[in-house]
Amino acid sequence: MKLPVIRQFYQQQSAENLEKAVEVLESFCEFRGATEDDLNVAGELITNMLGAMEVHANVQNGMSEKDALNGFAQKVMGSIDKA
């Protein structure tokens, strides 16, 4: 997860575009010829895009962009700390 990438995706893409891109990447991950490195890159992109989609949803519900980005980062960091 890279917050600057999530911010850029949020600012430059609609939630609908991000959702379509995630679907394409998920489909790519199912390709049996995808290498471990391919899957790692696709997974990182999916994580960042899903984060941007969550930021879109939170901003639409009244949260500021900064708070939505920080909230997502805290949520991810909290789940990592529990692992």
Q: Where do the structural domains in the chain lie, given as residue ranges?
A: 3-82
Mean pLDDT by 10 residues, the chain (83 residues): 94 98 96 94 96 96 95 82 62
> Nearest to residue 13, comparing CAs of 39, 72, 22?
22
Predicted pLDDT at 27? 96
Distance CA 46, CA 63 (A): 23
Please tell me the pTM assigned to this model: 0.87
